[in-house]
Amino acid sequence: MRILAVDDDPTVLDMLSDYLTPKHGFDLVCAEDAEKALVLLNEPGPDFDCFLLDIMLPGIDGIRLCAELRNLKKHQKTPILMITSSTSHDLMERAFEAGATDFVYKPLNGVDLGARINTAGLLSESLRGEQDARRSLAELTEQIKASREEGFDLGVPDVVDLNGFEHRLKGLPEGCYAMNLLAIKLPQMRNIFETLSPTEFCDQMAHVTEASINALQSHRYILGYVGNGVLVAAILARHRVNPAAIQHLIKADLAKKPMHSSAGNDIGVDLSVHSISNQRLWTGRSACDKVREYIGEHALKAKDTMKDIDRLVSLEM
């Protein structure tokens, strides 16, 4: 993994160089300020897979640099971890608004740092896989591309993307919350992609999302679409939520308005709801970490599906 670390403290850069070594699979590039980092971004060579930014940089600070990175098309989804010794809620809020993925706190801990960067790598791989699939499907026609964007971004106002999901969780006031973490997914992804056209899949996923919102309306929840036909939900409730009951409500809602594919069968009710973890108490940060861990595990299982998508697209083209 190629990482760009930006910090004006030589001690911190030395520590990062000790932790993030080629032996452990890291290719670390260091810069003392944002200006030098921006120069490195324009140099020829492979793209960076992750950024470590000190919030309090001279000149252009880390939050502004984070925002500038997010304005670059190739780094709109690249994990950005902010390095800080502060626990100020306002500072974290500003960083998340600028597009930060997570925080790494000083004094640095090698084990924690490596775990967070590896998790960010799995998240990056998952997002890239989804992005590549979307790009391939978009190449079929501009109409399909527009339909996909509307189906996931504009057609379902109460669902956020992964960044929005994490932002809402980490925006909770500090403390522990009784929370249920659930995954709602279409289990037969390979069959679904082979059965539905890209446009039908977009519509079907929006259909499932709307049914999920209806099933969760009696709860205080945060719902996010993470790609590959998977929704994640954080339900804030003291009692344990029954995933089977949620699944029953979603299926019942879908059965009222079945959407038939061109293959002549409705696969919308073929979904599963399960707990991501049996743990009851979470901070916003720990809940994000657990969801990212789940996404990483799911991304590894989805690799074969992505290959099938590419094969399907090549056949259609």
Domain range annotation of the chain: 2-108, 141-316
Which two three-digit tokens encode residue 230? Answer: 């998977």
* Options 3.90.1150.10, 3.40.50.2300, 1.10.357.10, 3.90.1280.10; CATH of 2-108: 3.40.50.2300
Length, in residues, of the chain: 317
Higher-pLDDT residue of 124 and 85 is 85
Asked if 238 contacts 178 with a C-beta cutoff of 8 angstroms, the reply is yes
Q: Given pLDDT bands bounded at 50, 70 and 90, which one contains residue 42?
A: confident
Phi, psi (degrees; rounded to nearest 5) at 240: -80, 125
Asked if 216 contacts 223 with a C-beta cutoff of 8 angstroms, the reply is yes
User: Check: CATH 3.40.50.300 for 141-316?
Assistant: no
| pLDDT tens for each residue of 226-283 | 877 788 999 998 899 999 999 999 988 888 876 655 544 455 556 899 999 999 999 9
- Give which of 243, 276, 84 is closest to 169, Cα–Cα: 276
What are the respective helix, strand and coil percentages of the chain, to the nearest 5? 50, 20, 30
Percent of the chain residues past pLDDT 90, beyond the cut: 31
pLDDT of residue 209: 87
Assess whether the previous peptide bond of 107 is cis (omega < 30° from 0). yes
